Structure 1
Amino acid sequence: MNLIKTGNSWKFATEADLEDFVWANLKELFGLIPLKRQYYVKGQICDILALRENKQLVVLELKNVEDRYIVQQLTRYYDALQEVKPLEDEIDYQQPISLIAIKPNFHRDNFTDKKYHNLSIDFFEFAVLADEFNYYLQIKNLDLDNEKVLKIEIAHQDRERREDIPSPSRGLMSHLAKCSSEQQEGILKFRQKILSFDKRMEEISSAVSFKYGNGNSKTSKFCTEFYFDSKGIPIIFLWLGLKNNSSDRISRARIWTDWQGNALLEGYVPSGIGTKINLSKKTLSTRIKIMN
């Protein structure tokens, strides 16, 4: 994890770092089974979806700073999930959806909103603590009296990262609405990682292309691009070193993926989107089999 020091206290460098840690430790922190991250449903993006052992759905919303509207945000997620009921093979919607808010501190308005709310919402307050050798996440359920405070170690590194990650633009969200849930989740996760990597990283948008680099000029250096073709299908490009990194030059390469964790470098495409894969002869699974 990436931690930064503010005054005499420590915090996660970005909200993405906080989410990474909670996702990796869902079982230890809450006794939950990970299901989905950055899950897109009916115009809403849920930070984390998880399950209890009885398949009850739990929605977790995380904030790395104080936020006065987290109750309203969780309410919108609840409404979208109840209406669409995605992932029905894995979730028991006969049980009520549980909502969890996780923040370093809660505004008094949060408690007022929760007091007059009919949904089940638990407030968890966390802090990053440090001793001479290690860092820890300390977390407590504010809704339980005399609840034991849980503390687990954070493996960390120090890095100057970008904290003010902008929300996805209306243009990007419009394209994502036409994508599958796997594509939506993957693109939003990639975007969060890219923009949080370094404070110089920028998002340069056009009608069908979303590039990530250090600016939009002749001297710009890009690392990633999401391109949406005429059918709305997302295409991924990465700027990679030529000749297996034995060359000093880098170029724009097209990446094919099944959005299930498998990816294939098709080749370098300086402009445009490159050739189409002949699905009858060159499926992604066949190519991965050949590579293996």
Structure 2
Amino acid sequence: MNLIKTGNSWKFATEADLEDFVWANLKELFGLIPLKRQYYVNGQICDILALRENKQLVVLELKNAEDRYIVQQLTRYYDALHEVKPLEDEIDYQQPISLIAIKPNFHRDNFIDKKYHHLSIDFFEFAVLADEFNYYFQIKNLDLDNEKVSKIEIHHQDREKNEDILPPSRGLINRLAKCSSEQQEGILKIRQKVLSFDKRMEEISSAVSFKYGNGNSKTSKFCAEFYFDSKGIPIIFLWLGLKNNSSDRISRARIWTDWQGNALLEGYVPSGIGAKINLSKKKLSNRVKIMNEIVANKNLTYRTNKYFSQYYKDRNRITRKINNSEPLTYEERQLLEIDANEFTLVRGGGRLNTYKFDRYDSLNGLVEVALEKWRKRL
């Protein structure tokens, strides 16, 4: 595990390191059987799914710092799992789904949310302790009267906070100041993960971007980049495989994310920001909005014909991309999910195949793929 020192205390370098440790020690810490990590279900990504011996499902959400909304997050996971009921061969859904929140400290708001919540949620508080020779993970259940404490050893790799990884530059800090709190947190987490991956990794900054690789020469290899457009909006690029990441050939891929863990590989941009992708996304976003309004209001008039005509052209173009295994943008997926069959049949057309995209990539998972591909290319 990667540990960093902050003041007189120690912590996991990233939330991913915390998750790695808990996943590897589920049996010893909680008596649980590992099932799935970063599991996508119905628009949500659960940190860890585990089972008790009787096949009862347990959902664990981990935070490496204070978070005021962990109860709401677990509620969304519960709803998604309860509605879809995935992995039914392994899980007994006749039993209630158990929810566990794991953090270094809990905000007062967490206890208020929990107090008036009808779901059962257990709060576990952890700390990283150190003596002269070893490091320990101490965890206690705040919901028990005796606050039972468990402690196991952490097999670690020491890393002082500023020893290997320099703090963000003034340029990056200035860029982050214009971002939302979710964007700031996401960028800093990825930066920490990338720079702590390998001692050869460097941060190369310019006026509008921050690249990560082994130097900045013609033979250097890159794996990630934060690019800020003219409005200060951050865009993530990762060096991934061509053909929707299925090829061994690597190129610079533009990534869409909702900054909540969901991500999509939208296309490949050798340099710059991807002006064509931007223009296409903007146009499609407007068309998707108009078509959704038409369908919702059941508005079939002469004026809507031009929108349907463009809608069919867009669908045909996007379908060809699917057939060629090309990546789709977020807006292209949205357009294909519009159910316009009622209007299509009225206008004398055949029934459309309405696509349902029930899977996004994990942003953390794509970063890990880019890191591994980078290491192989060195």
* TM-score range relative to shorter protein: 0.5 to 0.7
After TM superposition, the structure 1 stretch with the greater mean CA deviation from structure 2, 206-215 or 166-175, is: 166-175
Aligned partners of 1:161 and 1:197 also within 8 Å:
no
Query: 199-208 or 42-51, which moves further after superposition?
Result: 199-208
C-alpha separation between the residues in 2 aligned to 1:178 and 1:84?
A: 38
Measure, in 1, the Cα distance between the counterparts of 2:33 and 2:183.
22
1:8 to partner: Cα distance: 0.5
Note if contact 1:242-1:250 (Cα within 8 Å) is conserved in structure 2. Answer: yes
CA deviations over 1:74-101 (Å, ceiling 9, x no partner): 0000000111111111001111000000
Name the SS for the 1:207 alignment partner.
coil
Q: Quote the residue 2:51 is aligned against.
A: 51
Instruction: Report how many residues are paired.
Output: 291
Contact kept, 8 Å, 2:34 with 2:50, in 1: the verdict is yes
Are the equivalent residues in 1 in contact too, given 2:123–2:141 (CA < 8 A)? yes
Q: Percent identity?
A: 92
Shift of 1:221: 2.6
Structure 2 contact 32–51 (Cα < 8 Å) conserved: yes
Partners of 1:255 and 1:264 within 8 A in 2 = yes
Q: Aligned Cα RMSD in Å?
A: 10.7
| 8 Å Cα contact 1:16/1:196 also seen in 2 | no
Aligned to 1:127: 127
Displacement of 1:158 in angstroms is: 2.2
8 A Cα contact 1:3 1:10, kept in partner: yes
Question: Within 2, Cα distance between the matches of 1:109 and 1:289?
Answer: 36
263-272 or 57-66, which moves further after superposition?
263-272
Q: Name the CA shift for 1:142/1:280 in 2 (closer, same or farther; >3 Å).
A: closer
Distance 1:184 1:198 in 2: 23
Given that 1:134 and 1:153 are in contact with CA atoms closer than 8 Å, whether structure 2 keeps it comes out as: yes
Q: Secondary structure at the match of 2:145?
A: coil
CA contact (8 A) 2:14 2:192 kept: no
Q: 1:180 to 1:152 in 2, by over 3 A?
A: same
Q: Distance in 2 between matches of 1:89 and 1:285?
A: 39
**Partner-residue secondary structure (3-state), 1:106:** coil
Give 3-state SS (helix, strand or coil) of 1:191's partner: helix
Question: Which segment is superposed worse, 188-197 or 269-278?
Answer: 269-278
Deviation at 1:37, TM superposition (A): 0.4
- Which residue of structure 2 aligns with residue 198 of structure 1? 198
Which has the larger Rg? 2
Q: List runs of 5+ in structure 2 lacking aligned partners.
A: 292-378
- For the 8 Å contact 2:45–2:261, the answer to whether it is kept is no
- 2-structure distance, mates of 1:91, 1:280: 43
Change over 3 Å in CA distance of 1:212–1:78 after alignment to 2: farther
Post-superposition CA distance 1:213-235 (Å, at most 9, x none): 57999786324899999999999
Partner SS, residue 91 of structure 1: coil
Q: Go from structure 1 to structure 2 and tell me whether the alpha carbon gap of 1:150 and 1:281 turns closer, same or farther (over 3 Å shift).
A: closer
Residue 42 of structure 1 and its aligned partner are, at CA, apart by 1.2
Contact 1:34 1:50 in 2 (8 A): yes
Q: CA deviation at 1:19?
A: 0.4
Q: Which stretch has the larger CA shift, 19-28 or 235-244? A: 235-244
CA distance in structure 2 between the aligned counterparts of 1:51 and 1:184, rounded to whole angstroms: 34
The structural deviation recorded for 1:159 is 3.7
Q: Look up the SS of the partner of 1:280 in the other structure.
A: helix
Q: CA deviation at 1:258?
A: 27
Distance 1:74 1:105, change over 3 A: same
Alignment CA distance shift 1:118-1:282 (3 Å):
closer
Query: Cα–Cα, structure 1 residues 242 and 24, in superposed 2: closer, same or farther, change >3 Å?
Result: same
- Structure 1 residue 190, shift from structure 2 partner: 12
Q: Which is helix-richer, 1 or 2?
A: 2
- Once the two structures are superposed, residues 190-242 of structure 1 have per-residue CA deviations (whole angstroms, 9 ceiling, x without a partner) of 99965762699799999999997579997863248999999999999998999
Deviations 1:248-270 (A, max 9, x none): 99999999999999999999999
Corresponding residue for 1:219?
219
Scaled by the length of structure 2, what TM-score is found? 0.49
Aligned-pair distance for 1:43?
Answer: 1.2
**SS state at 1:281 partner:** helix
SS of the residue aligned with 2:196? helix
* Alpha-carbon separation, structure 2, partners of 1:243 and 1:220: 23
Of Structure 1 and Structure 2, which has the larger fraction of its residues in strand? Answer: 1
Partner of 2:278: helix, strand, or coil? coil
Q: Is the 8 A contact 2:5 2:161 kept in 1?
A: no
Q: 1:7 to 1:179 in 2, by over 3 A?
A: closer
- Three-state SS of the structure 2 residue aligned to 1:73 is helix
Change (3 A) 1:242 1:12: same
The verdict on how the C-alpha distance between 1:143 and 1:244 changes in structure 2, with shifts beyond 3 A counting, is closer
TM-score computed with the length of structure 1 as normaliser: 0.62
Classify 1:276/1:7 alpha carbon distance in 2 versus 1 (closer, same or farther; 3 Å). Answer: closer
| C-alpha distance in 1 between matches for 2:239 and 2:261 | 20
Taking a change above 3 Å as real, the CA distance of residues 272 and 79 of structure 1, as seen in their structure-2 partners, is same
In the alignment, structure 1 segments of 5+ residues that lack a partner are none
